[in-house]
Structure 1
Amino acid sequence: MGKRRWETPVMVVCRRSGQMLLVATTEEALNMLLTAWPVSTGKAFFQALQACADVDSGLRTPHEARDCFIAAAREAGIPIEAALTG
């Protein structure tokens, strides 16, 4: 999967450590969803997984993957800091 850099990164707060993690690419988002996400259920979670995979195959844009990642974080109750992009 290509890096597919986002125009504006998303800061995610890890609940266990309190550490702020910067997610700046579709690849980083997919990796976090697959390996460090606190839940593996929910409509937004599955949409984010699909959107990240679709970016690599050219079916979706990195911006769409970012929006889906933010929705999944909100669904899971994960604190984030994300500036809006155009």
Structure 2
Amino acid sequence: MVRAMGCGIEVPAQRVLAGGVIVYVDKESFYRLLELKEKPFCIVGELSSAGFGLKKTKVTIIPFEGALIVYRGEVELPEKCILVKASEISISK
């Protein structure tokens, strides 16, 4: 179940697949890109690395001009964001 916070919408989703560019950025760059959107769509959760035997990493993701902007870690998001809390995030081929 994917739950969008801030807009009263709950969306059932088993799996979401996306193709394109994934860009990992630092916190400052993430906030600058976030400010460019009037009502940013943000996804928060843990990046699954179970297949590699690594621990899970908290991530915050925003789609931006056809790319996924990823910050590894937790950030304080402004109230204007539409927030989706994912139970698990997997980025793979």
Q: What's the TM-score once normalised by structure 2's chain length?
A: 0.25
Decide which structure has the larger Cα Rg and report it: 2
Higher normalized helix content (fraction of residues): 1
Higher normalized strand content (fraction of residues): 2
Q: What's the TM-score once normalised by structure 1's chain length?
A: 0.26
